[in-house]
Chains A and B, each alone.
Chain A
């Protein structure tokens, strides 16, 4: 079974530039999550989708972050404009549904903002 795919693995940009991350979840998984993990901390949920609808985006900085999950499959997370404090690893995860189940994570996309 293929795992959660993410790209790019690494990205370096200057502040005020924009960046986009892509995620393809495990086939058949209805729920998709984007987490932000700052160095030395645990992952923090940014947004959660159930199929192509948003379940929770309460911690997403909506003035600069946006995410979409067209057709309920893959998803894109965008940051525009980026700030220095956005330097982090962006982790995508998926699960069968929103009920209490284990999450499957991708390898993450490491963002460095200079």
Chain B
């Protein structure tokens, strides 16, 4: 089963605009991670946010976490064509679990 569910499933924006993707999960977590996957490639880790953090930044990326709503969002500012990819959130399934579970992803298209 998949712990995280991303929304929207697909997103198309113009270069320079901001892109926001959301992730909802079901059980309590220790941390939440975001990964990027370019077409035909492996996944690349973007950012990890711990359960006691509310916001984290990395370059043009901003991640928020609301544990009361069991949700997270990934904001990419000033998007570029190179940001075109699928974005996945991932969490550990439950207490004591070492299984990192991925959602179905959001497919982002940035139009030059």
Which residues of A come within 8 Å of B, CB atoms?
Answer: 4, 33, 35, 40-45, 48, 55-56, 58, 91, 93, 98, 100, 102-108
Contacts and interface: CB of A to CB of B under 8 A. Distances in A.
Interface stretch (B53-61, B62-70, B71-79, B96-104): B96-104
Interface string B28-41: 00110101000001
Greatest chain A CB density within 10 A among B30, B31, B44, B100 is at B100
Contacts of B48: 102
Closest 3 CB pairs of A and B: A105-B42, A42-B102, A102-B45
B22 to A, nearest CB: 15
B14 interface: no
Contacts of B18: none
B43 A105 contact: yes
B42 A91 contact: yes
Contacts of A103: 35, 43, 45, 100
A85 B2 CA distance: 19
Contact of B101 (A45, A55, A93): A45
A56 B43 contact: no
B88 interface: yes
Contacts of B92: 100
Contact of A48 (B42, B99, B102, B105): B99
A98 B92 CA distance: 11
Contacts of B100: 33, 45, 103
Contact of A56 (B41, B44, B99): B99
A91 to B, nearest CB: 6
